[in-house]
Structure 1
C-alpha cells in the first residue's frame, strides 16, 4: 500500500515541478510572453496523453507476465538518456545556449522541440505511472477502489507546483534545480522499477484470472457516447483552465508566476472531486454557477476594475466550472477494470482543450473567445444534468447529455467565430488581431475631441503608444515617451545629441521613439511580435512614426 502511494506521489510531484522549471528556463528565449506557459502546458498535456495511451496498451494488450519487464526496460532507457544529457548540458533537463532558436518565427515548434529533447522521455515515463500503478494496485487488491490514488497524485502535483515558486526557484540556481529534479527522477525510477518488477513476478494464473473476472463483470462494455462525454468534459475543463490563465496573465495583470494560481485551482478540483463525491454537490454548485455568471459578466464589462478583484472573479469562475466538469466526469467513472481507458479518454480531452486554445483559437478568433465558450459549455452541462436528474434510464440520460454537449460545442464555437470575423468594429476596436503573443488592438483615442483625435495600440492591459491624426500633431511624442519621460530626457540630454547617435530600443510599440531621430542618427528597434511590427510600419494607416 505504501509503495503504491509513494510511487504515485513522487511521480506527480516531479511532473509539476518540471513544468514551471523548464518554462522558467526557456521563457527569456521567447520574449517573456505568457503564451510560453500555455504552449508548455500543451506539450505536457499531449505527452500525458501519450503516457496514458502507453499504460492502456501495456495493461490491456500485453500479457501480465511481460508488462513489468517491458516497463523496466523503458525506465532503464530513460535513465540512460537523462545521464547522457547530464554530461552534455548544464543539467540533464536544461539545454545549453546553443539550443536557443536563432529566430522566433515558429515559437510553438521551437518550444516543442526543446521540451521533446530536454524532458520528453522522463515526462512520458512519469505520466505513465499513475494509471499503471492504479491498475497494479487494483490487481493486487481488487476489493479496494484505486481512484483515491488519483486524488493523491493530484495532491502531489499541487505540492510540486506550489513548491517551485515559493521554495525551489528563490533558493536554487537553474542548474541546481535541474540536477535536484534529476535526483528525484532517479528515486522515481527506483520506485517504479520495483513496482514493475513486483508485477513481473506476479503469479500469472492469479493475474489472468483476475483480468477474466473483471472482463466478465456486468456492464463491462463502455459505450462510445460515454467515452465521448469523458473527452468532452475534460476538454471543457482544460479549455477553461488555459483560457482563464490567458485572461488573467495577458488581459488583467502581467505578474510573474501568476499562472500558478489557475493551475493550482484546477488541480484542487481534481483532489476534491476524486477523493470523495460529497465535495461535489450539484445543488450547491448550481447556485455557485449562477453567482459565477454574474461575476463573469461584471469582469467582462468593467475591465478597468482593480486587478485583484478581477483575478479573484476569474479564479472563482474557473473553480466552479472545473468542479462541475470534473465532478460530473468522476460520477461517470467506470469499473476499475476500465481504469486505463478512462484516464486515456480524459487525457485526450485535456490535450484537445490545449490544442483548441493554443492552435485553433488564434486562427479562428481575434479575441479570447475560448473563455466564454467554455463557460457556456459548463452551463450546457449543468442544464443537461438538471433536466435529466429524475431520469431512471441511464442510456437515454447519457445520450441526451452527450447530444447537448456536442451540439452546444458546435453552436458556441460557430457563433464566436462569426462574431469575431464580423470585423474589429464589433468589439469597439479599429483593428484587432491575435497570434502566439496575444491579442493586439488599435482603438480610437479622444473620439469626443476632433482636435486631439488619435489611435492607440494595446496588447492586453499594456498600452504601447498613441499617435494623433492631425498633421501638425503627428510627430508629437506621447504616453511613456514624452520629453519629460526617462527615455525622452536620456535622448535629449545625451552628449552625442545631434552628432549621429546610435540608439537601440527593446520593444517597438508604435515606434514613438523614432520621433526623436535626427539626420545622421541610427535607431534600431528589437521586436518579437510580427503583428506589432506590421502595425508600426503602417499597416492600416494608423501609425507613421517609423515612416515619418
Structure 2
C-alpha cells in the first residue's frame, strides 16, 4: 500500500507542478489546464496499457522490466520543461500537449503504471484479499498530492526546490517498488493464465456491453471534471485556484466508490439525483452571476455524479484476473472524456455546451432508485400512474415557464428559489421513469439560465477559441457594443458615430491609463513609441496622438479579428498604421531590440484569470529592457478575487522602480468601469510629471508590499485571495 500511496501522491503532485512551470510560456487560460489534463490522461492510459502488457510475464520478469523502466525515466530528472519553441503551422491546442508530453512523458508514464501493477502483485498471492480497496487508496494518495500543491508546495517552495523534492520522492518510489518485488520474489512463477488458475475464478469472458459500459461510465465523469473547470473559471467564478478543486473531487469520488465499506458510496449514489436536479439546473447559466454558493453546488454536483457513476463501475468490476484490463478500459474512457472536453468541444461549440450535455448524460447513466415509491403503492393502477405522470410533466413545464419569467423580470431571489425547489420536487416524483427525470432536468436547465445562453448561440453572439469564450452583444437601449471574455467585460464601443472614438469601460479619461496617455506628450515627447499588451476591442487606440508609433501585442487571433473585421473600429479609425504582433507578449517582447518603447501598457487578463507570468520579476526585467531609460510602464490590476497591488509593489521595489497607483471610481458607470492602474518608472521625474498632469484626478504612492516578490521560480496567489468576494460580499 505504501508503494501505491507514494506513487499516486507523486503522480498528482507532478500535474500542477508542471502546469506552474509552464505558466511563463503558456499563460493562464483554462484551456491550457485542460490540455495539460488531456496529456496526463493519455500518459495514464499508456501506463495502464503497459501494466496490462506486463501481465503476460512472470512476476520476477515484471519486476525487472519495471525497475529498469523507472531507472531509465530517472535520467530526465529533475523535472523541467524542454526547450521546444512553437512550431509554425501547429495550433496551440496541439503544441501545448506536445510540449508537456516531451517534458514529463517518461516519468509520468512510468509512475502511472504503479496502481494497477502493485494491485496485481498484491493479488498474485492466492491468500491475498480482493485488491479493489487498494485502488481507493491509490486515489486517496492522488487527492493528497493534488491538494498538497497549492496549500504547501507552491507557497513554501520555489519551482526548482519542488522539482528536486519530487525527484527525491521518485527515488523513494523506486526503493519501494524494489521492496514490493522482493516481497513477492519467492511466489510461484505465474503468467497471466496461471494467475487466473491460482485465483481459482476461471476467468469468465467479459461481454462487449460490459466493456462499453466501463468505457462510458469512465468517460462521463472525466469529461465532466474538465467541463466543470471550464464552466467555473469561464462563466461563474473566474479564478485559477479552482482548477485543482474539480480534479480533487474527481479523485475523491474513486476513494468513496471503490472502498470496501459500501455505506458511503450507496448514500452518495442515493442523493445524487437530487443534486443533479438542483445544482444541475444551473449548468447552462452563463451570466457570470455566481457566488461561492453556486461554486459549491457545482463542485458537489461533480462529486455526487462521479461517485454515483464510479460506484456503478465498481458494481460491474470483473474478477481480479481481469484487473489490468479493467483499469486499461477505464483509463481509455477517462482519456476519451478528456479528449471530448479539451479538444473536440472547443472546436464544435461556441460556449461550454459540453457541461450541460455531460450532466444530461450522467442523468441517463447513474443508478436511479425512486426516493418516493408512490407508483408501487397499493391501489395505484398502471393507467392511473400514467395519468399522474402526464400531469406531473405538465406541472414541470408550467413551473419551468414561471421560473423563466421570474428570471427575465428580475423577481426576488426567494421566488426563484421556491420555483426551483418545486421543479426539483416534480423531478423526484418522476424518478421511476428515467426519460421523465431527464426531461425535468432539461426544463430546469433552460428555465434557470439556459434560454439566454441558447439565444446567444442562435444569434451568433459568441466566439470560442483556445484561449476562451467571447460574447459580443449590442445594447440597443444604451447604444453600445460590448465584448466579454467569460465573466469579464473587455471593452465597449458606442454605436453612434459621434461617440464611436471614445474610450469607455476601464479606459476612460480619469482612468490611470487615460491620464497617463493624455500626459505622454508632455512627459515623454510628441513622438512617443507606445506598446499595448492585450488588444481587446482596441479601445486604447483612440488615445493615440499625432506623431506617435503604436504596437499592439495579442495572443489570440480571434480577438484581432474583432477589429480587422469591423466589429470594433477603434484600431481602424484611430491607429490604422499600428503594428499588431500575434503571440505571447512576454516572449515577443524579448525579440524586440532594447529601448524601443517609451510607454508599455500591460492589460492582458483572460477573464479574471491572473497572468502570473506577466507579473513576475523576470517579466518586469523584460519590460525594463524594452523600455527607454525614462520609459513608463502601466499595469492594469483590476480584479475581483485577487489583490495584486502588494505583488506589484514588492516587484517594483526589487527591480528599482518607483510606483504610483490610480483607483478610478467614475461617476458615470453606464459608460465607465471602476479600475485600478499602477504606473512604474525608473525615473522619478516621469512619475512626478504624471502626478502633476491633473490635480482633479490624483495618483497616490503605491505603499502595499508583499512579503516577497513574485518570480518565475516562486509565486503563489493564495495569500492575496479576496475571500469575502467569494461569498458575494463587496
Q: TM-score range by the shorter chain?
A: 0.7 to 0.9
CA shift for structure 1 position 199: 4.4
Which residue matches 2:81?
95
CA shift for structure 1 position 342: 0.7
1:249 to 222, 225, 233: 233
1:530 and 2:557 equivalent?
yes
- Distance (whole Å) between structure 2 residues aligned to residue 277 and residue 13 of structure 1: 24
Which is further off, 517-526 or 155-164? 517-526
Which residue matches 2:594?
none
2:133 to 148, 168, 187: 148
- Distance (whole Å) between structure 1 residues aligned to residue 168 and residue 286 of structure 2: 48
- The alpha-carbon distance between structure 1 residues 439 and 217, as it changes in their structure 2 partners (threshold 3 A), is same
CA shift for structure 1 position 69: 1.8
CA shift for structure 1 position 362: 1.3
- The alpha-carbon distance between structure 1 residues 100 and 179, as it changes in their structure 2 partners (threshold 3 A), is farther
SS in structure 2 at match of 1:493:
helix
1:544 to 563, 569, 590: 569
- Distance (whole Å) between structure 1 residues aligned to residue 539 and residue 302 of structure 2: 39
2:19 to 17, 23, 29: 23
Residues 60-108 of structure 1 show CA distances to partners (whole Å, capped at 9, x for unaligned) of x2244422222222122112333xxxxxxxxx21136x44548896223
Which residue matches 2:171?
186
- Distance (whole Å) between structure 2 residues aligned to residue 206 and residue 239 of structure 1: 35
Decide whether the 8 Å contact of 1:155 with 1:271 is kept in 2: yes
Determine which structure has greater relative contact order: mean sequence separation of CA pairs < 8 Å that are 6+ residues apart, divided by chain length.
Answer: 1
- The alpha-carbon distance between structure 1 residues 194 and 531, as it changes in their structure 2 partners (threshold 3 A), is same
CA shift for structure 1 position 321: 1.1
Q: How does 1:288-299 map to 2 (within 5 A)?
A: 288-298=272-282
Q: How does 1:151-190 map to 2 (within 5 A)?
A: 151-190=136-175
- The alpha-carbon distance between structure 1 residues 498 and 64, as it changes in their structure 2 partners (threshold 3 A), is closer
- Distance (whole Å) between structure 2 residues aligned to residue 175 and residue 70 of structure 1: 30
- The alpha-carbon distance between structure 1 residues 348 and 63, as it changes in their structure 2 partners (threshold 3 A), is same
Which residue matches 2:642?
none
Which residue matches 2:30?
34
CA shift for structure 1 position 258: 1.3
Structure with the higher fraction of residues in helix conformation: 1
CA shift for structure 1 position 295: 2.6
Q: How does 1:408-447 map to 2 (within 5 A)?
A: 426-427=456-457, 430-445=460-475, 447=476
- The alpha-carbon distance between structure 1 residues 234 and 307, as it changes in their structure 2 partners (threshold 3 A), is same
Which residue matches 1:472?
498
Decide whether the 8 Å contact of 1:64 with 1:208 is kept in 2: no
2:53 to 51, 57, 80: 57
Decide whether the 8 Å contact of 1:136 with 1:199 is kept in 2: yes
Which is further off, 505-514 or 28-37? 28-37
- Distance (whole Å) between structure 2 residues aligned to residue 116 and residue 253 of structure 1: 29
Decide whether the 8 Å contact of 1:455 with 1:467 is kept in 2: yes
SS in structure 2 at match of 1:57:
helix
- Distance (whole Å) between structure 1 residues aligned to residue 270 and residue 509 of structure 2: 55
| Shift >6 Å, 4+ stretches | 205-208, 383-387
Decide whether the 8 Å contact of 1:49 with 1:351 is kept in 2: yes
1:322 to 299, 306, 310: 306
Give unmatched runs, 5+ long, in structure 2: 374-433, 574-730
SS in structure 2 at match of 1:477:
coil
- Distance (whole Å) between structure 1 residues aligned to residue 48 and residue 280 of structure 2: 34
Which residue matches 1:455?
481
Which is further off, 463-472 or 491-500? 491-500
- The alpha-carbon distance between structure 1 residues 205 and 524, as it changes in their structure 2 partners (threshold 3 A), is closer
Q: How does 1:492-503 map to 2 (within 5 A)?
A: 492-494=518-520, 495-496=522-523, 499-503=526-530
Which residue matches 2:407?
none
- What TM-score, normalized by structure 2, do the two folds share? 0.64
Decide whether the 8 Å contact of 2:196 with 2:203 is kept in 1: no
CA shift for structure 1 position 503: 1.3
SS in structure 2 at match of 1:524:
strand
Decide whether the 8 Å contact of 1:429 with 1:441 is kept in 2: no
SS in structure 2 at match of 1:259:
helix
- The alpha-carbon distance between structure 1 residues 22 and 207, as it changes in their structure 2 partners (threshold 3 A), is closer
Residues 243-275 of structure 1 show CA distances to partners (whole Å, capped at 9, x for unaligned) of 001111122222232111111111111111111
- The alpha-carbon distance between structure 1 residues 488 and 138, as it changes in their structure 2 partners (threshold 3 A), is same
Decide whether the 8 Å contact of 1:65 with 1:202 is kept in 2: no
Which residue matches 1:223?
207
SS in structure 2 at match of 1:440:
strand
CA shift for structure 1 position 306: 4.0
1:511 and 2:538 equivalent?
yes
Give unmatched runs, 5+ long, in structure 1: 83-91, 390-403
Residues 106-134 of structure 1 show CA distances to partners (whole Å, capped at 9, x for unaligned) of 22333223222321111111110110100
- What TM-score, normalized by structure 1, do the two folds share? 0.84
Which residue matches 1:48?
44
- Distance (whole Å) between structure 2 residues aligned to residue 369 and residue 274 of structure 1: 30
1:112 and 2:97 equivalent?
yes
Decide whether the 8 Å contact of 1:139 with 1:207 is kept in 2: no
- Distance (whole Å) between structure 1 residues aligned to residue 51 and residue 290 of structure 2: 46
1:376 to 360, 383, 392: 360
Which residue matches 1:129?
114
- The alpha-carbon distance between structure 1 residues 429 and 490, as it changes in their structure 2 partners (threshold 3 A), is farther
- The alpha-carbon distance between structure 1 residues 434 and 21, as it changes in their structure 2 partners (threshold 3 A), is same
1:234 to 218, 237, 240: 218
Larger Rg: 2
1:360 to 340, 344, 349: 344
Decide whether the 8 Å contact of 1:31 with 1:528 is kept in 2: no
- Distance (whole Å) between structure 2 residues aligned to residue 333 and residue 138 of structure 1: 15
2:4 to 2, 8, 22: 8
Residues 449-506 of structure 1 show CA distances to partners (whole Å, capped at 9, x for unaligned) of 2xx4121111111111011111111101100011111110111122357702211111
- Distance (whole Å) between structure 2 residues aligned to residue 74 and residue 306 of structure 1: 47
- Distance (whole Å) between structure 2 residues aligned to residue 502 and residue 544 of structure 1: 22
- Distance (whole Å) between structure 2 residues aligned to residue 493 and residue 243 of structure 1: 45
Decide whether the 8 Å contact of 2:318 with 2:326 is kept in 1: yes
Task: Tell me the C-alpha RMSD between the 2 structures.
Answer: 2.8
Would you say how many aligned residue pairs link Structure 1 and Structure 2? 497
